[in-house]
Amino acid sequence: MAKNEKKRTFSSDKERLDYLKDLFMEQAQKEPINLKVGDFLKILEIQKKVSTDAGAEQKFWEFIEQIRQEELRHE
Tens-place pLDDT, residues 16-43: 888 887 887 787 777 776 767 787 777 7
In a domain, 60, yes or no: yes
Number of domains in the chain: 1
pLDDT of 18 reads 82
In a domain, 22, yes or no: no
The rounded mean pLDDT for the chain is 75
In a domain, 7, yes or no: no
One-letter-per-residue 3-state SS of the chain:
CCCCCCCCCCCCHHHHHHHHHHHHHHHHHHCCCCCCHHHHHHHHHHHHHHCCCCCHHHHHHHHHHHHHHHHHHHC
Query: Which residue range is the domain that position 42 belongs to?
Result: 36-75
Whole-prediction pTM: 0.41
In a domain, 28, yes or no: no
In a domain, 71, yes or no: yes
